[in-house]
Chains A and B, each alone.
Chain A
Amino acid sequence: MENKRLKWLAAPYGVWAAGFIIIPLLMIVIYAFTSQETGGFTLSNFGDVFTGEVMKALGLSLVLALISTLICILLAYPLAMILAGMKVSQKSFIVFIFILPMWMNFLLRTFAWQTLLEKNGVINTLLGALHLPKLEIINTPWAIVLGMVYNFLPFMILPIYNVLIKLDQDVLNAARDLGANSFQTFWKVTFPLSLPGVISGVTMVFIPSLTTFVISDLLGGGKILLIGNMIEQEFKQLNNWNVGSAMSMILLIFVIVSMVIEAKYDKTGEGTAL
């Protein structure tokens, strides 16, 4: 009887979610199918989306996002394992150290890479002093990949770390006990059991990488257009919200796919919380 009444405490949120989550998304859909000139139904916005430039930008975004996600997994997994294996007394401090950078404004952090990577930047000055070849990745896709990895790495470390520390040590011991060496134990037990964390990390790295316009803006020298830049342009400069919405809808498809995958692996819905 108490349940029935308590349920209504979620009503304000229900209204809020409908107004500010659901309806705005519908807005995008409506705009995507509306003509800018006539205001009537049209598919022509999608015609503008499936052009060479936009598809190229989308393709490039996909490739860069995939590369970044992969690098993030490769960097974060060993790190998460090292962190999970540390003594309890050190743990909170170490984890804290990996989260702390997120408190510096993300635009500034990314921007700082310009100073580091520039032709006469900090890194190249150091390399020059050591008579090493210069690192020339600023204003190339690689600088953008670096920016993505840099910004989103913590989002990969934390979910994997969270899964790893919750692993029952005795399950791993059992594998050793049954004859598996440490490599076999990792591949047959540790890794499959940590997959939910990896999946959660992948969705938290892939989608932001796919849709960013800031990182490409700051580290790409305006030479590289990602799908995010295209959308930003449509809304902020070209003022064509309909085509912009159509592009956003394409991104929405990727978002939905990732939500479905995430929901499949993370049944409790807690894995995404930091």
Chain B
Amino acid sequence: MKKILKRIYMILILFLLYAPIATLIVLSFNSSKSRAKWGGFTLDWYSSLFQNNEIMEAFYTTLLVALLAAAIATLIGTLAAIGIHAMGKKARTIFTGITNIPMLNSEIVMGVSLMLLFIILRIRLGFSTILLAHITFDIPYVILNVLPKMKQTDRNVYEAALDLGATPFYAFRKTILPDIMPGISSGFLLSFTMSLDDFVITYFTKGPGVDTLSTKIYSEVRKGIKPEIYALSTILFVSVMLLLLLINLAPSKESPKELEKDSRYLAKTGHRRIFTRHMVIGRLVPGLLIVVLAAGGIYYGGKTTAAGQNQVIVYNWGEYIDPDVLTQFEEETGIHVIYEEYETNEIMYPKIKAGAVAYDCVCPSDYMIQKMIDNDLLQKIDFDNVPNIKNIGEIYEKASQAFDPTNEYSIPYCWGTMGILYNTKMVDEPVTSWKILWDSKYKDSILMQDSVRDAFCVALKYLGYSANTTNMQELQEAKDLLIAQKPLVQAYVIDQVRDKMIGNEAALGVIYSGEAIYTARENPDLAYVVPDEGSNVWFDSWVIPKNAPHKENAEKFLNFLCRPDIALKNFEYITYSTPNVAAQQLIEDPDIRDSQVAFPDDATLERCETYSYLGADAEEIYNDLWNEVKSS
């Protein structure tokens, strides 16, 4: 009875631990791109995984960082352990105390502190800073694994070796090293694992174009994960499981019960077990790693070195370009594209401002462009190098003057409106007003945008105020309204509105018009409306930061994007309205070419306003008020 209870308890906990893993493995075989529904079994993600350069590069970076960091940490840590062992009590206490700091410190504090250090030292955030950070948190694991083994070593043996005429180094290699070897290898393995799984510290110390699997996943988690990631994780998990099973189980399988009686046999299998472990840890694992790294290195190294310094660093919204366009650009021009994504203007801005990271072209929204111009972060585009600018419709150029008065800094890329996406099966009444987002009937079925301006725009417009107001009275009202709305809101999300609406997780969601076209394709019950009170019309335009290292390449890239065929390709991929008139005319499907969602009529546009930059003080007020909402 007791035994059964124990079994049940263990199985329950195992279920808790493995349920998410099983889910991920199942998702890796799901042919539907949306994780919310099962679309049948497929192996496609496994094959497309190896064609997905972004993921494979992130994977390769992860392995390389983990291996290098673990190797360097093992060297420094082992030396340190020997040194600490030889120290007096006081020095030893100080050193072990310091060693404990990274182990017990909160990851976020450590990540932040290293980021501050690198920025002050003007070390550009990138691969090297990730590596330095990883070595730093790896060393303590090595020390803590080697030190106990050092304590077990017999000094007399070492001294006997010296006595017999060995040099100190030879004596060390022959007497102490074999004793502490298990500690060194487990320290290495532990470091490797820790590095592999780290997210927080990498997140704070990474730069543009460098992603580890973790940071890649984090940015994808917010906008819907690519199923290839599930496939890769499944492969990783299964291979680690097999490897560990091999190490843990192989010897015990070879010793049948009746033979265990014989103690001599046990001693022998014991030996074999150590031998097998030694083989696996000492030879197989490093061997495999070297093969993987060498292959990855040749593959990806070949690609990067071919491109050399001829590159362009692009910083764009998530899911905001057709990957084929990038490949095509690389093929046509031979310029290597380093591509990085962000989720909100607010995340992008400090990176540009800090200057620790230099991008060649960025695609901010209207008000943010104004702010960047005001803060002197942008340089004028040389339009002689961008002849394709002629394809951009004049009305869009004109509208852009609201934030770029001289049209000298920006090239419109996408535009659209913000409105309500609703599920016609769950919402019976006609949706015409923002008011419906405060209807308690839809409690827990409302998705709001997790960004300051968009959230406030909804409330301000509902109240009949301007979305650019700085009137404290009006803002307080909007804040109170948002706080009142919070209990009804299922979640504040950004790009996830799309997936959740497709999966029938919510009835109403605030979303940009471009997403509406895509979602309607996936789930015909979804409809999009710009409420009568008006909304935001927005522009995302390309700009070139002041510190862009490859300005000419940036202009080539922008010129390429303005080509009608390319703009069309992008439009079909991201489904956000394009300001490229030449491309608009190329759209074949009349439903889309004349779609009210994609290209709303003038009356709708008149009700909408663009965001303008309100100045640092107003921005702080908005942020503080938003924090009040979020923490209410």
Contact = CB atoms under 8 A, between A and B. Distances in A.
A in complex with B: yes
Interface of A: 2-4, 6-14, 16-17, 20-25, 27-28, 31, 52-53, 56-57, 75, 78-79, 82, 89, 92-94, 96-98, 100-113, 115-116, 118-120, 122, 136, 139, 150, 153-154, 203-204, 207-208, 210-214, 218, 221-223, 225, 228, 230-232, 235-239, 241, 244-245, 248, 251-252, 254-255, 258-259, 262-263, 268-270, 272-274
Contacts of A248: 108-109, 112-113
A120 B630 CA distance: 25
Nearest to A8: B83
B627 to A, nearest CB: 5
Interface in B136-176: 136, 139, 141, 143-145, 147-148, 168
Range, interface on chain B: 35 or more
Interface stretch (B192-200, B297-305, B513-521, B606-614): B192-200
Nearest to B98: A17
Given A115-B23, A258-B104, A237 B354 contact: no
B490 A107 contact: no
Contacts of B204: 235
Interface stretch (B244-252, B317-325, B326-334): B244-252
Nearest to B100: A259
Interface in B476-525: 486, 489-493, 503-505
Contacts of A269: 96, 99-100, 144, 147
A153 B15 CA distance: 13
A97 B346 contact: no
Interface in B602-632: 623-624, 627-628, 630-631
Nearest to A110: B20
Nearest to B23: A112
Interface string B102-118: 11111111101111110
Given A150-B16, A222-B450, A263-B100, 9 more contacts: A24-B113, A24-B117, A27-B120, A100-B240, A218-B221, A223-B486, A252-B109, A262-B104, A269-B96
B217 A105 contact: yes
Interface stretch (B43-51, B229-237, B572-580): B229-237
B23 A122 contact: yes
B349 to A, nearest CB: 7
A105 B13 CA distance: 19
B279 interface: no
B100 A103 contact: no
Contacts of B214: 105-107
Nearest to B222: A217
B125 interface: no
Given A139-B490, A211-B107, A119 B444 contact: yes
From DSSP, what is the main secondary structure of chain B's interface residues? helix
Interface of B: 6, 9-10, 13-14, 16-21, 23-24, 27, 35-36, 76-77, 79-80, 82-87, 91, 95-110, 112-117, 120, 132-133, 135-136, 139, 141, 143-145, 147-148, 168, 190, 193, 197, 199-200, 204, 213-214, 217-218, 221, 225, 229-230, 233, 236-237, 240-241, 244-245, 248-249, 252, 344, 346-347, 349-350, 353-354, 444, 450, 486, 489-493, 503-505, 623-624, 627-628, 630-631
23 contacts: A6-B85, A7-B91, A16-B136, A24-B116, A28-B109, A28-B113, A53-B627, A53-B628, A75-B13, A100-B241, A101-B21, A103-B197, A108-B229, A109-B24, A111-B217, A120-B504, A208-B106, A221-B491, A223-B492, A239-B349, A239-B350, A269-B147, A273-B145
A207 B193 contact: no
B470 to A, nearest CB: 18
Nearest to A154: B17
A259 B486 contact: no
B100 A31 contact: no
Contacts of A268: 148
A92 B248 contact: yes
Contacts of B113: 24-25, 27-28, 248
Most buried by A among B23, B114, B143, B252: B23
Contacts of B252: 89
B631 to A, nearest CB: 4
A105 B116 contact: no
Nearest to B345: A237
A82 B6 contact: yes
A244 B136 contact: no
Contacts of A244: 112
B6 to A, nearest CB: 5
Contacts of A111: 217, 221, 225
B244 A96 contact: yes
Nearest to B197: A106
A120 B144 CA distance: 46
A8 B145 CA distance: 20
B248 A96 contact: yes
B20 A112 contact: yes
Contacts of B624: 53
Contact of B493 (A109, A222, A225): A222
Contacts of B83: 6-11, 13
Contacts of A120: 36, 503-505
